[in-house]
Amino acid sequence: MTSKPDTPDRLKLGLIGDNIVRSKSPLLHRLAGEQNGVEVTYDRLVPIDLGLEFEEVFDRCTHENYRGINVTYPYKERAASLVRIDNPLVRAIGAVNTVIFEGEMPHGHNTDYSGFMEAYGQMRGPKATGSVLMIGTGGVGRAVAFALVALGALELRLVDRDPAKAEALAEALEAVAPDMNVSIWVDPSKAAAGAKGLINCTPVGMVGHDGTPLQREFMQGAEWAFDAVYTPTETQFLTDAATAGLSIISGWELFFYQGVHAWKHFSNLPVDEAALRRGLLDIGEAA
């Protein structure tokens, strides 16, 4: 690998993903850098716009002096095959969203996992998750599922338009949480019956992917809902859930905490979370 570590006063970072033009990650990391007197550049890298495959963009980053990158939909699982993962739990998740370029091989981390746990704790405290329906079992879904294991969830119902993905996740969960009741469903409206937690880990509701993965009439009886989508923050899924009386964990909270955790991997520097949150919200409202 030919890239060299950044000097302490400068970090070159990036994000590889599709449909990321409105991502607030560049702003989050620039603000975190300003808190520490570090100049941060954070590039949006969209493979199709560059005329390259994901692996080619990733390889370019290893040779262009990037300190690290974030990886988002739909490349998190592909990224896992290109990095060294020291954490056995992250290896089991099989998806990474944060990569550090150092040494002979890039290091992979998953701050979606840790970020969801922190967001859940901040919004619901020690309350049990209850039985959970999760729609979408791709990269972020896998991270959230393993976070649910750590949070003590005993029942998880999986729905994915690609049943093979759901089956693969169920097998991975069985290996680490044999006491968890994991089932695979085809129809989310049927899987929602009796569930206490409702989770969307699909891109449905994202800018360019309008709609909701679950209609409001099927949310009755649930206690809480989480949507991994954060652009826009108020998705139809969460709006319907709030109207149905559920407590809400927005994708913005996951975005915030995964970003805070990624910053610490990138820089090993502290961050004032309250000031960072204010800066993101103030600039976002002014934009």
Task: Give catalytic residue positions.
Answer: 75
Distance CA(63)–CA(66), nearest Å, equals: 8
**Distance of CA 126 to CAs 123, 129, 255, Å?**
9, 9, 21
Q: Report residue 119 CA to chain centroid gap.
A: 11
Instruction: Tell me the two tokens of residue 40.
Output: 């941060």
Torsion sign, CA atoms 50, 52, 58, 60 = negative
Instruction: Tell me the two tokens of residue 267.
Output: 């820089």
Instruction: Tell me the two tokens of residue 146.
Output: 């393993």
Angle between helices 251-267 and 273-286 (to 10 degrees): 120
**Whether 214 contacts 189, CB under 8 Å:** yes
**Whether 251 contacts 136, CB under 8 Å:** no
First-to-last C-alpha distance (Å) of the chain: 39
Distance CA(262)–CA(109), nearest Å, equals: 8
SS3 47: helix
Among 55, 114, 95, residue whose Cα is nearest residue 258: 114
Instruction: Tell me the two tokens of residue 148.
Output: 């649910």
Is the link from the previous residue into 74 a cis peptide, with omega within 30 of 0?
A: yes
Distance CA(188)–CA(166), nearest Å, equals: 13
